[in-house]
């Protein structure tokens, strides 16, 4: 192995401008260093060393490295972009999930509210019995009777209106007569509800039941 | 001092090689290659005998380093670079049909350290005696030139002047003498 010689030193050697001792040292090193040996021979054969050529070569090397660098940078940038994009994607998904998670209980809350509202509406729209004439009074009160009708007359569709007459005997409805009704089925259902239903007070009367 | 600097250079090269293997950064490879660029240029001049072709070859060799280093795990950069560069030039010559070339094995590394034996003083004395014997076995031209060069530390020019051999003759006598010496020394070991 030799120490690092530079082109000027070799040029000086080739031009015979080095001392005998330095020449010897270079030659000796060249014997140990095939690359140096070949290079010296090459320069000797070409008879001239053009420093401009060498600096041009250095520039070529630099621009070659630069080219790779920008290439690499471009690649790096795309990698960077990819990273940014993937991070953004992940964040989007996470945010989406968070939204869904936070919103979903809300929607289910609102679902409940809605159903509650609907129930309330339904409750408001529950069957309503009113006394048209005579004297009839549910033993547990009109409110409870309405509830009973609403719960048990669930098969009767909303909007139906039935007028009926009955008498009370031993707190039980008797001689139930339908005055007006949407159809037979509803009439029969309502008669059954009354017969199996709560107890009454009073004598007789006409009821209008609106579902 | 010289040895230290060489070691430092070798360490630096090893570090750069490692860095290049890890990062693939051409800037690092450039740092490795640049100090040798003018030597490679000279080497190419020797083989290709054409300035423009040699300039291109210097760049082509750099390109081939990028590819080859992906495959080879190189420990010692300089000897390896030498074989890569030389093979590149020889291939180019062969492609032109000028010369059938025998390519160097790139894993081959020449190590000629017999003249700087890493041994104790006793061994050194022994080695010198052995070398004297081996020098005596060389032919006359080689013996004269080797003695003048290694023992009297003359340069080629001085040897050429004192022996009337041409510079090239001197050089080849020394090269061949050195090779024969090495063979002789290895034999008697």
pLDDT at A50 exceeding the cut of 80: no
Cβ A120 vs Cβ A174: under 8 Å: no
- What is the arithmetic mean of pLDDT over B177-183? 89
For residue A104, being part of any structural domain is answered with no
For residue A139, being part of any structural domain is answered with yes
Q: Residues 69..88 of A with a Cβ closer than 8 Å to B: which?
A: 69, 72
Question: What pTM does this model have?
Answer: 0.56
pLDDT of amino acid B62: 93
Query: Could you tell me the strand order of the sheet in which A161-169 lies?
Result: A128-138, A200-210, A161-169, A172-180
| Banded model confidence at residue B96, pLDDT cuts 50, 70, 90 | confident
Q: Residues 154..173 of B with a Cβ closer than 8 Å to A: which?
A: 154-158, 171
Three-state DSSP string of B57-101: HHHHHHHHHHHHHHHCCCCCHHHHHHHHHHHHHHHHHHHCCCCCC
For residue A107, being part of any structural domain is answered with no
Three-state DSSP string of chain A: CCCCCCHHHHHHHHCCCCCHHHHHHHHHHHHHCHHHHHHHHHHHHHCCCCHHHHHHHHHHHHHHHHHHHHHHHHHHHHHHHHHHHHHHHHHHHHHHHHHHHHHHHHHHHHHHHHHHHHHHHHHHCCCEEEEEEEEEEECCCHHHHHHHHHHHCCCCCCCCEEEEEEEEECCEEEEEEEEECCCHHHHHHHHHHHHHCCCEEEEEEEEEEEC
In total, how many domains does chain A have? 2
Cβ A39 vs Cβ A4: under 8 Å: no
Q: For residues B66 and A98, what is the distance between their CA atoms, to the nearest angstrom?
A: 49
pLDDT above 90 covers what percent of chain B? 33
Q: For residues B149 and A28, what is the distance between their CA atoms, to the nearest angstrom?
A: 8
Most trustworthy range by pLDDT among A68-82, A137-151, B21-35:
B21-35
Q: Which of A22, A56, A57 to probe the B interface (max B CBs under 10 A)?
A: A57
Q: For residues B42 and A36, what is the distance between their CA atoms, to the nearest angstrom?
A: 8
Tens digits of residue pLDDT in B111-170: 444 444 444 556 777 877 888 888 888 999 999 999 899 888 889 989 999 999 998 899
Number of Cα atoms under 13 Å in the Cβ half of residue B10: 12
Nearest by CB to A31, which of B38, B43, B178? B178
pLDDT at A123 exceeding the cut of 70: no
Q: For residues B78 and B71, what is the distance between their CA atoms, to the nearest angstrom?
A: 17
For residue A72, being part of any structural domain is answered with no
Collapsing DSSP to helix, strand or coil, B49 comes out as coil
For residue A57, being part of any structural domain is answered with no
Cβ B104 vs Cβ B83: under 8 Å: yes
Fold of the domain built from segment(s) B121-188: Arc Repressor Mutant, subunit A (1.10.10)
Cα-based distances in Å from B66 to B25, B32, B70, B84, B96 = 10, 12, 7, 12, 25
Of the two residues A40 and B126, the one the predictor is more confident about is A40
pLDDT of amino acid B114: 43
Please tell me if residue B179 touches chain A, with a CB cutoff of 8 Å.
Answer: no
CATH code 1.10.1740.10 region(s) in chain B: 2-95
pLDDT of amino acid A188: 86
Of the two residues A63 and A119, the one the predictor is more confident about is A63
pLDDT at B40 exceeding the cut of 90: yes
ipTM over 0.90: no
Structure token pair of residue B146: 């080797």
Q: Is there a contact between A24 and B154 if contact means CB atoms under 8 Å apart?
A: yes
Instruction: Return the residue of B nearest to A60 by Cα.
Output: B59
Diameter over CA atoms, chain B: 55
φ, ψ dihedrals at B138, nearest 5°: -75, 160
CA of B126, closest CA in chain A: separation in Å? Answer: 22
What is the residue-averaged pLDDT of chain A? Answer: 81
Cα-based distances in Å from A54 to A42, A51, B58, B92 = 14, 5, 10, 21
pLDDT of amino acid B64: 92
Q: For residues B12 and A189, what is the distance between their CA atoms, to the nearest angstrom?
A: 102
pLDDT at A153 exceeding the cut of 70: yes
Q: Which domain holds residue A14?
A: 7-49
For residue A187, being part of any structural domain is answered with yes
Of the two residues B53 and A52, the one the predictor is more confident about is B53
For residue A82, being part of any structural domain is answered with no
Q: Which of B4, B13, B43 to probe the A interface (max A CBs under 10 A)?
A: B43
**Residue the block writes with tokens 């009777």:** A145
pLDDT of amino acid A146: 85
A73 contacts in chain B (CB < 8 Å): none
Q: For residues A86 and A94, what is the distance between their CA atoms, to the nearest angstrom?
A: 12
Cβ A191 vs Cβ A152: under 8 Å: no
Hey, CA dihedral for A173, A178, A184, A187, is it positive or negative?
negative
pLDDT at A32 exceeding the cut of 60: yes
Nearest by CB to B49, which of A23, A45, A57? A45
pLDDT of amino acid A49: 75
For residue A81, being part of any structural domain is answered with no
CA of B27, closest CA in chain A: separation in Å? Answer: 6
The radius of gyration of chain B from alpha carbons, rounded to an integer in Å, stands at: 20
Tens digits of residue pLDDT in A59-113: 888 888 888 666 655 655 667 777 888 899 999 999 989 888 887 655 555 555 5
pLDDT of amino acid A72: 59
pLDDT of amino acid A23: 92
Hey, CA dihedral for B152, B154, B156, B161, is it positive or negative?
negative
CATH number 1.10.1740.10 is the correct assignment for the domain at B2-95: yes
pLDDT at B60 exceeding the cut of 90: yes
pLDDT of amino acid A185: 85
Of the two residues A161 and B123, the one the predictor is more confident about is A161
H-run or E-run covering B44: helix B26-48
pLDDT at B107 exceeding the cut of 60: no
């Amino acid at each position: 192995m030799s120490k690092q010689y530079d082109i000027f030193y070799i040029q000086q050697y080739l031009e015979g401008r080095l001392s005998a001792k330095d020449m010897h040292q270079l030659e000796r090193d060249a014997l140990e260093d095939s690359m140096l040996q070949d290079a010296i021979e090459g320069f000797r054969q070409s008879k001239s060393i053009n420093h401009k050529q060498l600096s041009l070569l250095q520039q070529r090397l630099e621009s070659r490295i630069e080219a790779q660098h920008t290439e690499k940078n471009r690649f790096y940038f795309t990698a960077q972009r990819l990273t940014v994009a993937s991070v953004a994607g992940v964040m989007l998904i996470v945010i989406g999930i968070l939204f869904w998670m936070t919103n979903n209980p809300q929607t289910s809350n609102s679902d409940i509210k809605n159903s509650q509202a609907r129930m309330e509406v339904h409750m408001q729209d529950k069957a309503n019995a009113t006394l048209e004439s005579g004297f009839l009074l549910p033993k547990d009160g009109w409110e409870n009777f309405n509830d009973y009708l609403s719960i048990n007359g669930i098969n009767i569709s909303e909007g139906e209106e039935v007028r009926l007459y009955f008498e009370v005997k031993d707190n039980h409805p008797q001689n139930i007569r339908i005055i007006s009704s949407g159809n037979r089925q509803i009439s029969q259902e309502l008669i059954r509800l009354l017969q199996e239903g709560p107890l009454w007070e009073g004598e007789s009367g006409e009821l209008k039941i609106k579902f | 001092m010289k040895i230290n600097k060489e070691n430092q250079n070798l360490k630096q090269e090893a570090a750069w090689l490692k860095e290049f293997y890890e990062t693939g950064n051409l800037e690092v490879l450039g740092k490795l290659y640049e100090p040798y660029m003018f030597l490679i240029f000279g080497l190419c001049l020797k083989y290709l005998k054409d300035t423009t072709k040699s300039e291109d070859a210097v760049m082509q060799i750099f390109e081939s380093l990028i590819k080859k280093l992906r495959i080879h795990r190189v420990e010692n950069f300089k000897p390896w670079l030498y074989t890569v560069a030389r093979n590149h030039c020889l291939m180019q010559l062969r492609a032109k049909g000028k010369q059938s070339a025998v390519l160097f094995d790139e894993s081959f590394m020449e190590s000629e350290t017999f003249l700087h034996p890493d041994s104790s003083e006793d061994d050194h004395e022994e080695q010198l005696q052995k070398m004297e014997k081996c020098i005596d076995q060389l032919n006359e031209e080689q013996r004269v030139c080797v003695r003048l060069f290694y023992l009297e530390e003359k340069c080629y020019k001085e040897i050429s002047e004192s022996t009337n051999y041409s510079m090239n003759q001197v050089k080849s006598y020394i090269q061949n003498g050195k090779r024969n010496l090495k063979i002789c020394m290895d034999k008697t070991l």
